[in-house]
Amino acid sequence: MLVEQELIEKARGGDGGAFNEMVLAYRKRIMGTISRLIGRPEDVEDVAQEVFVRLYYSLDQLRTPEVFEPWLYRLTVNASYDYLRRARRRNESRMADLSEQQVVMADFLASGRRDGDERHKSQVREFVDALFQHVSEEDRLLLTLKEVEGLSLKELEKIYRVKENAIKVRLFRARQRVLKAFNRAAADGNL
Amino acid sequence: MNGESKLDQLFQTYRAACPDVEPSSNFMPRLWQRIESRHSFGFVFQNLARTTVTVCAAVCLLLVFLNFVPPFRAGAVQTPNYTDVLMAEHNAENTDYTEAIHGAIEEPVSASPSR
């Protein structure tokens, strides 16, 4: 944990200074996770603030400080999911067409510049985002937490409050869908 | 390298490709603003909810009270309606008819001993 349990207890008791310290300790990590979950850097700060507002008002429901991090991740996933739903309702979500992404990827690979450059990073992001279009938003979040954020099944179990086996099954199915799209792109010679 | 491991590698590249988002300088002031605004909204909502509950409870008590109070007999002071008049006339007719029969029967009985 990035903060002492004592600090969490103080924040639970209504200490504004302790809450400030907690936010300062976690905000960068949470913003990074949100950035990968929603894929829109311009809205990351807004969603992160929503997470901490929800944290402020739900701290008294936290049973023990030991479960603080899964609790915070849970709030992060929920706030990101709410954002994605709102964005979908506004028709603002980026529904990138995989075939277009494949062309972009092919162009990039043809140019022969692979490492360390911003264009390459941007294309990788767009390509993975396009692959994620093949799964639901819930599965996209789950896959990102597992495969990109590197959370363990045990941690996911605590965040989602469901049995590990249920998460395994859901992850497997989502990964298979993404893998199928990935293999199709590879078969087309774009990888 | 098979598809599975290539996908794993792609996810790792993706993680590295995602930019680190730095919080802006007014992150904390804006956060506290949002907390305060939600707090004041919550306060107004709580007050509104409490008032509504009180009014509802008062209306419920009033209805219960009215339910147990004997109902006001409005018909007692009002003028009789059509059915009341009809019933009264019907009763009057019955009375006349009975009296007439009664008289007709009684007359010969009382007259016979005198003959």
pLDDT at position B110 is: 52
* DSSP state letter for A117: -
Taking the Cβ of residue B4 and every Cβ of chain A, the question of whether any pair is shorter than 8 Å is answered with yes
Taking the CA atoms of B17, A37, A128 and A98 in sequence, report the sign of the dihedral they define. Answer: negative
A146-189 confidence digits (pLDDT tens): 999 999 999 999 899 899 999 999 999 999 999 999 888 888 76
CA distance A173 to chain B (A): 13
Q: For residue B44, what are its two tokens?
A: 């107004």
List of chain A residues with pLDDT < 70: 91-116, 189-191
Contact A32 B21 (CB under 8 A): yes
What's the fold here for domain A5-89? Rna Polymerase Sigma Factor; Chain: A (1.10.1740)
What's the fold here for domain A98-187? Arc Repressor Mutant, subunit A (1.10.10)
Shortest CA distance to A144 belongs to which of A47, A59, A77, A78? A77
pLDDT at position A95 is: 47
Q: For residue B6, what are its two tokens?
A: 């290539």
| pLDDT confidence bin for B71, thresholds 50/70/90 | low
Residues A184, A129: Cα–Cα separation, whole Å:
15
Mutate to test the interface with B, among A56, A117, A134 (most CBs of B within 10 A): A56
Residues of chain A with CATH 1.10.10.10: 98-187
Q: For residue B9, what are its two tokens?
A: 């590698």
Q: For residue A173, what are its two tokens?
A: 């199915």
Element containing residue A22 per DSSP (H, E): helix A16-38
B2-47 confidence digits (pLDDT tens): 778 888 888 999 988 887 888 999 999 999 999 998 877 777 777 8
Q: Any residues with CB less than 8 A from the CB of A143 and at least 6 apart, and which?
A: A132, A135, A171, A174, A175, A178
Q: What is the mean pLDDT of chain A?
A: 84
Q: Is the pLDDT of residue B91 over 50?
A: yes
pLDDT at position A93 is: 44
Mutate to test the interface with B, among A36, A50, A191 (most CBs of B within 10 A): A36
List chain A residues with CB under 8 Å of B24: 45
Residues A96, A122: Cα–Cα separation, whole Å:
14
Q: For residue A122, what are its two tokens?
A: 């941007």
Q: Is the ipTM of this complex over 0.85?
A: no
- Look at the pTM and tell me if it is higher than 0.80: no
